[in-house]
A and B are shown apart, each in its own frame.
Chain A
Amino acid sequence: MSNTPVPPSRVSERAGVLPKKPNDKRPANEPDFSTLLLSWLDSHRASLADSLRRLGRQPIGSFFTCLVMAIALSLPMGLSLLLDNVERLGGSWQRAAQISLFMQLDVDNAEGERLRAQIAERPDVAAADWVSREQALAELEQQAGLGEALKELPENPLPGVILVTPKQIDKAGLESLRQHLAELPGVQQAQLDLLWVERLDAILGLGERFIFGLAVLLVLALLLVIGNTIRLHIENRRSEIEVIKLVGGTDSYVRRPFLYMGALYGFGAGLLAWLVLVYGLDWLNQAVVRLAGLYGSDFALAGVPLEDGLSLLAGAILLGYIGAWLAVARHLRELAPR
């Protein structure tokens, strides 16, 4: 066989070389920017579709992977929501740090109201409420179930109270405010009970720390789950990856479908976790409402706020993406063509 030269026009035609414009200085194989951009977008679309197809081919396996991730996500999130409810039950911090001014028994409603207005104008006070002697007695009867016993008393023993809500809740500031209010005329006693506030603060702090530790551990577990799942996908596509690398595919090109797969697992897990939390809290709420009712309270668990659900979903997608990225980064080095 001999090397017979072929005319340039026929050469182009046979090799699939398309004629270039005379002033086009780009190499024959280098597309322009818009073509590259469209191709890049198309490559992302193809990677996403391919990842969806692959997950769809193993529906049960994909579902269980998502479910394991969902459980890992819903545990800390669920505990955090429960803690929020406990905080709500205990009242806000400002309410918990209220200063109660017990008035002398001879302070009437008009005087009490005047003093309340005077206190409310202070710059370090957020709000001041006047509770008259009659109101105090009615509340006590209602809350403690002592109606009959209280009726036996010759006169109302309860003083009027001004409930002062401070703007700042630092301990030193509160104590200074309490002392100042105690010196006002007509005030019998100014009470600031910080001990239970501090105890509740400590308990909630412990709860938050526990949830944070649990969340860290479960996030690590989740990264391992997603990493291991992606590793199996990489193993299944080893020969494809080797070919892609041999024909000039970059690491980012190889990585792309796996990142989509990780994000899709995260999306599925986030949705499942959201559902688990919504139905789980609803199920728990029935028992909580019944228990609260026995104590004469209308307390009910708050559900999953939309913004918390969306954050959960976004976080799950991000975790899936990061897990996949770590898995691919770790295995990409081993996937050099052989």
Chain B
Amino acid sequence: MIRFEQVGKRYPNGHVGLHELSFHVRRGEFIFVTGHSGAGKSTMLRLLLAMERPTSGKLLLAGQDLSSITTAQIPFLRRQIGVVFQNHQLLFDRSVFDNVALPLKILGMGKDEIAKRTLLALERVSLKDKAEHFPADLSTGQQQRVGIARAVVHQPALLLADEPTGNLDPRLAAEIMSVFEDINRLGTTVLIASHDLALIARMRHRLLTLQRGRLIGDGEAA
């Protein structure tokens, strides 16, 4: 699904975000990436979303080389990916339903199909009854679940999450993680960047550890 081959990312100011990173992730895998602030977690996610390009090496996502992807191809690449942020990035002037339906509208689906899939996605995160509410009416945990529903509503092959539990208390964090596991069980590859080691340890999935842009650990969280 994902293959990093000696991937490096050096910024114009000389800062090295990633240093010859190599690993691969199989389709359907659930994987954590951890490391201190500045370790390269976010850089890795940004490369996978084609928000940045590697300066060296080769990065393959579902067989597509992201080092040479054209600007016009980027939207179509992102349609295969769901992404969840720490700050949810919801649109506060739109209802919960409209937030979740956004990727489907962009895909050009019909109204009935959009309604059906959006309500199913909201049901999966136990927010079907909040469909007509606005994000500001919801708690932080509920907003995060809306973000997750939006990330999976179009059934992406890959789900990326950047510190998705960063603002949540442990009970809510565990709840959100169980939603991710449910999604993973449906066949979606899940990659979560997090520095919550206690939570990662409880989950017992593959863990990549980064330090200053280098991969220093690859194994099951213990």
Residue-by-residue, is B87-111 near A (CB-CB < 8 Å gives 1, otherwise 0)? Answer: 0011100000000001101111111
- B interface size (C-beta, 8 A): 44
Q: List residues of chain A with CB within 8 A of the CB of B78.
A: 245-248
| Stretch of B12-20, B114-122, B211-219 at the chain-chain interface | B114-122
Q: How far is the CA of A161 from the CA of B48 in the complex (A)?
A: 91
Whether A118 is near chain B, meaning CB under 8 Å from some CB there, is no
Q: How far is the CA of A250 from the CA of B73 in the complex (A)?
A: 9
Whether A38 is near chain B, meaning CB under 8 Å from some CB there, is yes
Which A304-338 residues have C-beta < 8 A from chain B? 336-338
**Distance from B148 Cβ to chain A, minimum over Cβ atoms (Å):** 13
Q: List residues of chain B with CB within 8 A of the CB of A36.
A: 108
Is B116 touching A18 in the complex (CB atoms < 8 A)? yes
Residue-by-residue, is A1-44 near B (CB-CB < 8 Å gives 1, otherwise 0)? Answer: 11111100001001111100000000011010001101110110
Q: List residues of chain A with CB within 8 A of the CB of B77.
A: 248
Is B107 touching A29 in the complex (CB atoms < 8 A)? yes
| Stretch of B60-68, B137-145, B163-171, B178-186 at the chain-chain interface | B178-186
Closest to A42 in B: B111
Is B89 touching A248 in the complex (CB atoms < 8 A)? no
- Which of A18, A36, A42, A246 gathers most chain B CB within 10 Å? A246
Q: How far is the CA of A31 from the CA of B152 in the complex (A)?
A: 17
Q: List residues of chain A with CB within 8 A of the CB of B192.
A: none
Whether B83 is near chain A, meaning CB under 8 Å from some CB there, is yes
Is B185 touching A29 in the complex (CB atoms < 8 A)? no
Q: List residues of chain A with CB within 8 A of the CB of B89.
A: 239, 242-243, 246
Which A233-279 residues have C-beta < 8 A from chain B? 239-240, 242-251, 253
**Distance from B107 Cβ to chain A, minimum over Cβ atoms (Å):** 6
Q: How far is the CA of A338 from the CA of B49 in the complex (A)?
A: 11
Q: List residues of chain B with CB within 8 A of the CB of A11.
A: 185-187
Closest to B182 in A: A14
Closest to B188 in A: A15
Q: List residues of chain B with CB within 8 A of the CB of A245.
A: 75, 78
- A interface size (C-beta, 8 A): 38
Is B184 touching A3 in the complex (CB atoms < 8 A)? yes
Whether B113 is near chain A, meaning CB under 8 Å from some CB there, is yes
Is A1 touching B203 in the complex (CB atoms < 8 A)? yes
Q: List residues of chain A with CB within 8 A of the CB of B31.
A: none
**Distance from A235 Cβ to chain B, minimum over Cβ atoms (Å):** 15
Whether B32 is near chain A, meaning CB under 8 Å from some CB there, is no
Which of B30, B75, B117 contacts A16 (CB under 8 A)?
B117
Q: List residues of chain B with CB within 8 A of the CB of A31.
A: 107-110, 113
**Distance from A13 Cβ to chain B, minimum over Cβ atoms (Å):** 8
Whether B153 is near chain A, meaning CB under 8 Å from some CB there, is yes
- Which of B75, B152, B153, B154 gathers most chain A CB within 10 Å? B75
Which A196-250 residues have C-beta < 8 A from chain B? 239-240, 242-250
Whether B130 is near chain A, meaning CB under 8 Å from some CB there, is no
Is A3 touching B154 in the complex (CB atoms < 8 A)? no
Is B185 touching A3 in the complex (CB atoms < 8 A)? yes
Q: List residues of chain A with CB within 8 A of the CB of B116.
A: 16, 18
Q: How far is the CA of A38 from the CA of B109 in the complex (A)?
A: 9
Which of B79, B177, B183 contacts A29 (CB under 8 A)?
B79
**Distance from A114 Cβ to chain B, minimum over Cβ atoms (Å):** 79
Closest to B120 in A: A16
Closest to B93 in A: A240
**Distance from A144 Cβ to chain B, minimum over Cβ atoms (Å):** 75
Whether B209 is near chain A, meaning CB under 8 Å from some CB there, is no
**Distance from A14 Cβ to chain B, minimum over Cβ atoms (Å):** 6
Is A247 touching B150 in the complex (CB atoms < 8 A)? yes
Closest to B150 in A: A247
Q: How far is the CA of A126 from the CA of B129 in the complex (A)?
A: 83
Is B155 touching A28 in the complex (CB atoms < 8 A)? yes
Is A16 touching B106 in the complex (CB atoms < 8 A)? no
- Which of A3, A6, A11, A248 gathers most chain B CB within 10 Å? A248
**Distance from B147 Cβ to chain A, minimum over Cβ atoms (Å):** 10
Closest to B29 in A: A3
Closest to A248 in B: B79
Q: Do A243 and B91 form a contact, CB below 8 Å, given A31-B109, A35-B110?
A: yes
Q: List residues of chain A with CB within 8 A of the CB of B107.
A: 29, 31, 248
Whether B204 is near chain A, meaning CB under 8 Å from some CB there, is yes
Closest to B109 in A: A31
Is B113 touching A1 in the complex (CB atoms < 8 A)? no
Q: How far is the CA of A18 from the CA of B152 in the complex (A)?
A: 14
Which of B51, B155, B181 contacts A17 (CB under 8 A)?
B155
**Interchain residue pairs with CB less than 8 A apart (10):** A1-B203, A11-B185, A18-B113, A39-B110, A40-B108, A239-B91, A245-B78, A248-B77, A248-B103, A336-B51
Q: Which B residues are closer than 8 A to A by beta carbons?
A: 30, 49, 51, 75-79, 83, 89-91, 102-103, 105-111, 113, 116-117, 120-121, 124, 150, 152-155, 177-178, 181-187, 202-204
Other A-B contacts than A247-B103, A249-B106, 17 sampled, CB-CB below 8 A, are A14-B124, A16-B121, A16-B153, A31-B110, A31-B113, A35-B109, A35-B110, A39-B105, A43-B105, A239-B89, A243-B90, A243-B102, A246-B78, A247-B106, A248-B103, A249-B75, A251-B75
